[in-house]
Structure 1
């Protein structure tokens, strides 16, 4: 495809992204459109720099995404080298990450060579990391685009999602969420609004109390009036956080009186926003700061969890990618 056509396609996808994001920003398709625009732009640039690359220019972004995904898996898997991180999950992550990196590396060398059906099949297998690489890019772009949006003022309630206690106390990660929720509440107070604050989290097997109870105690200790807080203390997942918090609002007659503000960690915003839309909640999701060293493994877990929300779409996408890879591998193989 000529570079100019790639650039026109990228511009068209950006316009479509802007229209889609304005209508409903809590859709992964916004990230897909951004990834498509970036994919067309990078392939056009690669074709302009190296005209002989031809169709291979379209493999630049999937290849980069696959390498980044492999590095994330390897980074998460390296935790098993410490006594506290030794687990089957981390071992699988390490092996999977090394396999993805190896496949991406070998694909670069094998793709231009071979004419047999076996060679083409081998290239298809080696190109498989390209699809999850694109998924990673699209999800990251969706999250970044959503995080840049400003939440609407005057929410009916501020729901704070729990994240686990450490030795029965609120850890830094959860404290950041609670501080962000308290700041949002004070901002609304300054505007003349008084939203209900719902700390949400049940009790884990290793916790002496429900997260919601500890979260409420933290907020009250930091100056929030007790009558402003309604504790949700039964949830065990993000989806339950949202559903059970909605029950509390319904019991108070607040479920249909306006939108919600959902506060969580920055890395968790994307999936939480997808869930609010899936559950029919009118909500803006905002993020609290997270330590940089925690982000890679946390974002990887969020990506994998988000994939389970759209299993059929991702299986269909993988099928299309395999078919396209087979056609590309056969097309570029020397005769």
Structure 2
């Protein structure tokens, strides 16, 4: 692809991205379109720089640069998460699986690059091997598109005047609110104060803390969150506690039931959660038909990589058919590319 054609393609993707954000920012395709623009831009800039420097760059390598990068990032994230297995407190089967998957993805990416650069003959085993080695790139591209979607959505400004502010729960520690959950509650408190100040005639917005009781928790998350909110200045009559939810889906659905029972079914919601959880929570609100703006609370930097990786994997399960179809298309495209490369 020539630089000018790649630039035109990048511009087209950017236009589609801007339109998708304006129509509905709670869709993964927002990140996919932005990834398409970035991908075309990498090809355009790489080709242009090679031409200016008088160097003939391999266009196939330019096209594969972003997929290889995505696969490498995914492998490193898996490796980082899986390395927690060396700590006795975090040892578990999940960490072992992540460690093994990270090593496989990194090894496959390195082997795929080496196979491409070697330009092996187009034998059937070599072709099959090239396709298999390129498959981790699909997961890497999906990760990059999810990151871009989340970054785009985090810039989305919540609308004023929500019907209620819903705070998603997380685990308690010895029955008390840990720092992660406290950050969510503090963000909800700030939103509640802003909305209260904006309301006319002194009307106070409703806050819905939501979360059930885990097997190792002496009380429900919802009740612990309610106590925290009341202790920090929210009047008890402005809190509607949800104390049965065990998943994010239930957090949202049961909170909606509470609002309907109070005759507050209309209008949009403000959903508050941790920053790493915003993207998937927004996807869920759309899937459940809930009109909501999702905002994030600060999260400690050292907690972000593993937490975001879990969110990405969970987000993949929201659209299994779409991802299986995408994987099949990617496999077909990589088979064609591998044949063309090894036949050169």
TM interval, shorter chain, is over 0.9
Say which of 158, 162, 166 aligns to 2:165: 158
Number of the residue aligned with 1:113: 120
**Partner SS, residue 82 of structure 2:** helix
8 Å contact kept, 1:268–1:287:
yes
- Corresponding residue pairs, total: 334
* TM-score using structure 1 length: 0.98
Q: CA deviation at 1:56?
A: 2.5
- The offset of 1:99, in angstroms, is 0.6
In structure 2, list runs of 5 or more residues that go unmatched: 51-55
Distance 1:310 1:47 in 2: 35
Q: Please list, as runs of the form range in 1=range in 2, the aligned pairs for 1:5-154 lying within 5 A after superposition.
A: 5-50=5-50, 51-111=56-116, 112-154=119-161
Give, in angstroms, the shift of residue 194 of structure 1.
2.2
Contact 1:168–1:208 (CA under 8 A) maintained in structure 2 = yes
Q: Is 1:253 aligned to residue 263 of structure 2?
A: yes
| Cross-structure match for 1:187 | 194
SS of residue in 2 equivalent to 1:216: helix
Corresponding residue number in structure 2 for 1:244: 254
Partner residue of 1:228? 238
Provide the residue aligned with 2:285 in structure 1.
Answer: 276
Deviations 1:126-148 (A, max 9, x none): 11111001000000000000000
* Misfit runs of 4+, over 4 Å: none
Other structure's SS at 1:169 match: coil
Q: Residues 57-109 of structure 1: CA distance to partner in whole angstroms, max 9, x if unpaired?
A: 11011110000000000000000000011111100100100110011011111
For 1:165-184, list aligned pairs within 5 A: 165-184=172-191
**1 CA distance for matches of 2:103 and 2:153?**
31
1:296 equivalent in structure 2: 305
2-side partners of 1:315 and 1:74: how far apart?
24
On the 8 A contact 1:72/1:297 being kept in 2, the answer is yes
Does residue 214 of the first structure (1) align with residue 224 of the second (2)?
A: yes
What's the TM-score, normalizing by structure 2?
A: 0.96
Tell me the distance in 1 between the aligned counterparts of 2:210 and 2:34. Answer: 33
- Quick one: distance in 2 between partners of 1:176 and 1:114? 57
Which of 263, 267, 275 aligns to 2:276? It is: 267
Q: Point out the more displaced range, 40-49 or 301-310.
A: 40-49
SS of 2:158 mapped into structure 1: coil
Asked if 1:197 is matched to 2:207, the reply is yes
Partner residue of 1:305 out of 306, 314, 325: 314
Matched residue SS, 2:296: strand
Aligned to 1:110, the other structure's residue is in SS state helix
Structure 1 CA distance, aligned partners of 2:324 and 2:303? 29
Q: Is the 8 A contact 1:43 1:59 kept in 2?
A: no
Aligned to 2:53: none
Distance 2:92 2:258 in 1: 38
Distance 1:136 1:291 in 2: 21
Other structure's SS at 1:284 match: strand
Q: Is the 1:9–1:37 Cα contact (8 Å) retained in structure 2?
A: yes
C-alpha displacement of 1:117? 1.4
After superposition, the C-alpha distances for 1:232-258 in whole angstroms (9 at most, x for unaligned) are: 0000000000000000000000012x1
Secondary structure at 2:57 match in 1: helix
Distance in 2 (alpha carbons) for counterparts of 1:208 and 1:277: 33
Check the 8 A contact 1:14/1:34 in 2, yes or no.
yes
- Looking at structure 2, the residues matched to 172 and 245 of structure 1 have their Cα atoms a distance apart, in angstroms, of 23
Distance of 1:128 and 1:46 partners within structure 2:
24
